[in-house]
Amino acid sequence: MNAATLFGLSGAALVGIGLYGLVTNPEPLRKILAFNLLGSGVFLVFGVVSRRAAASGLGGDPVPQAMVITAIVVAFAATAMAIALVLRLLQETGRPTLSADNSGGTDTVRGNS
Amino acid sequence: MTILSVFDIGLVVLILGIGASTIAVREAFAAVIGFVVYGLLLSIAWVRLSAVDVALTEAAIGGGMTGMLMLGAVARLRLAKGNDIRTSLPVRFATGVLCSLITAGLVAAILSPPEPIPTLAPMVMENLAQSGLGNPVAGVLFVYRALDTLLEKVVLILALLGVWSLAPDSVWGGIPGLRLYAQSNSTLTFLAQLLPPVGIVVAIYMCWVGAKEPGGAFQGGTVLAAMWLLAMIAGLERVPSISQPWLRRLLVVGPVIFLAIGLAGMVLANAFLAYPPGYAKPLIVAVEVALTLSIGVALGLLAAGPPERVQQP
């Protein structure tokens, strides 16, 4: 197994880990973090696509690399927007959570199902 | 097994371990610190994939800027009491199974690459010399896919408008609510006096060298933004109110010049965002310089957040 495949597999694992965190963690900030993890896994897989397509004396195909750079910037812009939304939610409601079913956290253990 | 492959395996183990820990730990603060470390490790992985431009961007944005934004958010959310809803065990289990299936699908795709592997590298290199650029990634960003790059800057400004518009009406046009730690004689003050001159030179170098070597407007702009934020957080530089005319001009100067050169290309080179022969490199460098300034200001303001207080008269 070469290095590119190894990083590709870890990218695939990161997608799974990030998606799991996105679905199971109820805190919005942790969801944003998990979403970034998921995104970086996708970028890593794309980076492996670039590395494998190395030709003409380059270490990798520059087109996917340029697209990943653009993607990182757009992901950051979306993250900044999402964090601002969470903080505004906190200002409005006093709680950094999206659940509508209880108003003050009196029930401590509840399923989401 | 060579030393490099041992290094790669260790790196992957660290990346996966820290990545998983950002999901698993209970404390949001620990998760964010883990995410910053994760971003830096990931940028080493990008170097190993021969993508140094991406590595610089990942270190600056994934580790630095995103980490700073999240740390700021954690500090504010910590005071608020969240309701401690936990996801039930069956749901977690089902999610775990489905997520593993997605990972398995990706693994299958990675282990069976197409034959022959499609690549655009020869086409990029064939025409790169005409643009006068030496860095193929910069060539793709500013020549072949210039529209993507232009729209990416527009996305940054749109995101900033979105963040600003979350401010209550009463403080519109006011000062962003960046947390300040202004204490004279602290280490932070010392660093905020020492680092910006060095950082600004590094930013200019990155922007200039981006035409030939890894680097470029985005990486340079991020360093500029970091230096600006450092000086503001240490209280050495005032946080400007968002209605300042100079601030708004700096924000749009990059995209406007890019757009103007793109429109001029319609007349002089018969296509939108095309450069007239022989003038490609000077035009691209001009666009990069303007973009570096705009990106620096946009990133700094995105990290500073929506306005929270009105300017004192």
pTM for this model (two decimals): 0.89
Number of neighbouring beta carbons within 10 Å of residue A91:
15
State whether residue A17 sits within 8 Å of chain B by CB: yes
Residue A48 with chain B: CB contacts under 8 Å? 49, 110
Residue in the structure block whose two tokens are 């998921």: A38
Per-residue pLDDT band for B145 (boundaries 50, 70, 90) equals confident
E strand or H helix that includes residue A8: helix A3-24
Q: Is residue B99 part of a domain?
A: no
Residue A112 with chain B: CB contacts under 8 Å? 85, 87-88, 91
Q: Is residue B117 part of a domain?
A: no
Q: Is A2 exposed, middle or buried (0-12, 13-18, 19+ CB in 10 A)?
A: exposed
Q: Is residue B87 part of a domain?
A: no
B152 shares its domain with B272: yes
B39 shares its domain with B132: no
Q: Residue B311: CB partners within 8 Å, gap ≥ 6? A: B173, B174, B175, B241, B243
Q: Is residue B179 part of a domain?
A: yes
The answer to whether B166 and B304 have CB atoms below 8 angstroms apart is no
Q: Which of B8, B72, B152 sits opposite A73 (nearest CB)?
A: B152
Within 13 Å of residue B306, how many CA atoms lie on the same side as its CB?
Answer: 25
Residue A30 in tokens: 């942790």
**Helices within A59-106 (DSSP H only):** 62-93
User: Which one of B78, B101, B131 terminates a domain?
Assistant: B78
- Over residues A7-22, mean pLDDT: 94
User: In whole angstroms, what is the distance from residue A63 CA to residue A56 CA?
Assistant: 13
E strand or H helix that includes residue B54: helix B52-57
B146 shares its domain with B253: yes
pLDDT score of A82: 93
State whether residue A93 sits within 8 Å of chain B by CB: no
Q: Residue A99: pLDDT above 80?
A: no
Domain residue ranges of chain A, discontinuous segments joined by +? 3-93
- Find the radius of gyration of the CA atoms of chain A: 19
Total residues found in chain B within this entry: 313
B149 shares its domain with B273: yes
Closest-CA distance of chain B to residue A101, Å:
11
Q: Which of A4, A68, A78 sits opposite B159 (nearest CB)?
A: A78
- Over residues B77-86, mean pLDDT: 68
Question: Across chain B, how many H-helices and E-strands are there?
Answer: 12, 2
Structural domain of residue B40, as residue ranges?
A: 1-78
Number of neighbouring beta carbons within 10 Å of residue B113:
16
User: In whole angstroms, what is the distance from residue B294 CA to residue B162 CA?
Assistant: 17
* A65/B106 touch (CB, cutoff 8 Å), yes or no: no
Number of neighbouring beta carbons within 10 Å of residue B89:
9
Residue B294 in tokens: 């705009």
Residue B111 with chain A: CB contacts under 8 Å? 5
* A7/B8 touch (CB, cutoff 8 Å), yes or no: yes
Residue B137 with chain A: CB contacts under 8 Å? 62, 65-66, 69
A3-93 CATH: 1.10.287.3510
Residue in the structure block whose two tokens are 């030496």: B134
Q: Residue A12: pLDDT above 60?
A: yes
Q: Is residue B95 part of a domain?
A: no
Q: Is B195 exposed, middle or buried (0-12, 13-18, 19+ CB in 10 A)?
A: middle
Q: Is residue B292 part of a domain?
A: yes
B131 shares its domain with B26: no
Q: Residue B86: pLDDT above 80?
A: no
> Facing residues of B176 across strands?
B307
Closest-CA distance of chain A to residue B36, Å:
11
- In tens, the pLDDT along B170-184 reads 888 888 888 777 777
Q: Is residue B308 part of a domain?
A: yes
Q: What does DSSP say about strands B175-176 and B307-309: parallel, antiparallel, or unpaired?
A: antiparallel
Q: Is residue B91 part of a domain?
A: no
E strand or H helix that includes residue B175: strand B175-176
Angle at B14 between CA B13 and CA B15, to 5 degrees: 95
- In tens, the pLDDT along B218-248 reads 889 999 999 999 899 888 888 888 888 899 9
- Over residues B173-202, mean pLDDT: 85
Residue in the structure block whose two tokens are 């282990």: B111
Residue in the structure block whose two tokens are 């590298």: B121
- Alpha-carbon dihedral angle through residues B62, B65, B68, B74, given to the nearest 10 degrees: -60
pLDDT score of B312: 62
B149 shares its domain with B286: yes
Per-residue pLDDT band for A106 (boundaries 50, 70, 90) equals very low
- Over residues B115-124, mean pLDDT: 80
Q: Which of B19, B144, B302 sits opposite A80 (nearest CB)?
A: B302
Mean pLDDT, rounded, of chain B? 86
User: In whole angstroms, what is the distance from residue B297 CA to residue B226 CA?
Assistant: 10
Q: Residue A101: pLDDT above 60?
A: no
Q: Residue A86: pLDDT above 70?
A: yes
Within 13 Å of residue B27, how many CA atoms lie on the same side as its CB?
Answer: 6
* B163/A108 touch (CB, cutoff 8 Å), yes or no: no
User: Which one of B46, B78, B110 terminates a domain?
Assistant: B78
For chain B, the domain total comes to 2
